[in-house]
Amino acid sequence: MIIAEIGTSHEGSKEKARKLIDAACDAGADYVKFQWVYASEILHPDTGFVKLPTGNIPLYERFKELECPVSFYKEMLDYVHSKGKKFICSPFGLQSLKELLEIHPDAVKIASPELNHYKMLEALADYRKNKCEKTPVILSSGVSTLSDIEKALSITGKDNVSLLHCITSYPAPENEYNLRLIKNLSNILGIPCGVSDHSLDPILVPALSVACGGTIIEKHITLSRKTSGLDDPVALEPEQFGFMSHIVNQAKATLNHYGIETGTKRIIDQISEQFGSEKVEKVLGTGIKELAPSESLNYGRTNRSLHFMKEFEKGHVINEEDIGILRTEKVLTPGITPEYYDLVIGKTLSRNVKSGSGVQFEDLM
């Protein structure tokens, strides 16, 4: 399965979104993927700034600019289907998940930072439990531990669920990809695994992921790396994406023709001729699940934690509107993990707290 991640590269333009869909389909994608963005589901307004060619702007405001109505996504789903391809989308909270499920996507992708958004995972699990046919779910596992993945799967279940090994770094260093982990994760967890690739090369990680047993490759696509989309600098342009699809299909054909053992060796040997055996061995890695060096400092900041949405004084009784399950990102302090959300609601504050600050156990009586 080849997923072309458009994400928010369309920047709200239907015309650009259709051009991206056309490019993805022509470049060999099986699935075309979008992101259903509501800024308030992702970040606190005081989270910090993002560097863009036009200067530094508040990250929250940048996400606000990327919000689209339900009709936008429905039109894109219909257009993807008209091209004979499948539509997949990432929600980032309860509202976007509800609206996404109402248009019946071909699959739901849970992005790496939302792997511990337990309230959203629970809502998704409830929806799938009440349907005769379970909507396929793909979980991404960047900036996560094995126990984080197992916790998420304990909520979603494993029926029609796949996993993407991922490094949450933009761009992600190929040497840190540890692709031998794909087969190990699949064996440990008992579900199909692939890779979400944020590296810049169209061949190295995608081809080797097939050799390592990967069943899915996801990569960003853009009309041009010089445009202003948030992920455009690490995306493949259409010609590169098409080349990647060709290489992936060649690798699949090699496995089918020669069998797993001989086919895997042939793929690795061919890639080693181009990139060098030392480089390839580093990309293949140890197969042990660890945080990659490039993402380890973001653990607890990129994924979700609990944050106060306003400034509150000591003695305030916390209700659901007071707490956000958010990414910490830039300048705020991470809070306790979302698994404690229900415990926090109804508690009384033991001290004054600032808007945006991460919830700490010391804040609660």
Cis, bond preceding 171 (omega within 30 deg of 0): yes
The one-letter amino acid code at 321 reads E
Choosing from 275, 294, 313, the residue where a domain stops is 294
Among 259, 294, 329, which residue terminates a domain?
294
Eight-state DSSP code of residue 169: S
**Using the 8-state DSSP alphabet, how is residue 185 labeled?**
H
239 and 344 assigned to the same domain: no
- Token pair, residue 103, equals 């248009």
DSSP, residue by residue, 259-313: -HHHHHHHHHHHHHHHH-HHHHHHHH--------HHHHTTTTTTSEEEEESS-B-
Domain co-membership, 348 together with 246: no
| 87 and 35 co-located in one domain | yes
Q: What per-residue confidence (pLDDT) applies to 73?
A: 98
Query: Is the domain of 129 the same as that of 46?
Result: yes
In terms of Cα–Cα distance, which of 136, 131, 183 is closest to 161?
A: 136
One domain, residues 218 and 80: yes
Q: Distance between CA atoms of 36 and 51, rounded to whole angstroms?
A: 22
Coil, strand or helix at 51: strand
According to the model, what pLDDT value does residue 226 have?
84
Identify whether the C-beta of residue 280 lies closer than 8 Å to the C-beta of residue 315. Answer: no
Is residue 322 domain-shared with residue 204, that is, in the same domain? Answer: no
What CA–CA distance (Å, rounded) separates 68 from 87?
Answer: 16
**Token pair for 360:** 């700490």
Q: Can you give the CATH number for the domain in which 336 is found?
A: 3.90.1210.10
Chain centre to alpha carbon of residue 24: 18
Q: For residue 136, give every residue at least 6 positions away whose Cβ sits within 8 Å of its Cβ, in sequence order, or none.
A: 106, 107, 108, 160, 161, 162
| Interacting residues of 69 by C-beta distance below 8 A, sequence separation 6+ | none
CA dihedral 43, 48, 50, 55 (to 10 degrees): 140
| pLDDT score for 277 | 97
User: Do 13 and 100 fall within a single domain?
Assistant: yes
> What pLDDT, on a 0 to 100 scale, did the predictor assign at position 227?
81
Predicted pLDDT at 330: 80
Per-residue buried b or exposed e for 163-192, using 16+ beta carbons within 10 Å of the residue's own CB? bbbbbbbbebbbbbbbbbbbbbbbeebebb
Question: Along the 365 residues of the chain, how does pLDDT read in single tens digits?
Answer: 999 999 999 999 999 999 999 999 999 999 999 999 999 999 999 998 876 555 677 889 989 999 999 999 999 999 999 999 999 999 999 999 999 999 999 999 999 999 999 999 999 999 999 876 789 999 999 999 999 999 999 999 999 999 999 999 989 999 999 999 999 999 999 999 999 999 999 999 999 999 999 999 999 999 999 887 788 889 999 999 999 999 999 999 999 999 999 999 999 999 999 999 999 999 999 999 999 999 998 899 999 999 999 999 999 999 999 999 999 988 899 999 999 999 999 999 999 999 999 999 999 99
Instruction: Tell me the whole-structure pTM to 2 decimals.
Output: 0.95
CB-CB contact of 347 with 365 (8 Å): yes
CA pair distance 28, 18, nearest whole angstrom: 16
The helix/strand count (H/E) of the chain reads as: 14, 12
Give the model's pLDDT for residue 54. 59
Tokens, residue 235: 């995306």
206 and 350 both lie in a single domain = no
Among 341, 206, 302, 209, smallest CA distance to 264 is for 209
Range of the domain at 70: 2-294
Q: Residue 132's pLDDT is what?
A: 66
254 & 326 share domain:
no
- Whether 142 and 260 map to the same domain: the answer is yes
Compute the distance between CA of residue 263 and CA of residue 283 in angstroms, rounded to an integer.
Answer: 18
Location of structure tokens 């979980």: 139
Q: Tell which residue, 16, 136, 135, 29, has the closest CA to residue 84.
A: 29
Same domain, 206 and 304: no
Closest CA to 338 of 350, 351, 348, 323: 323
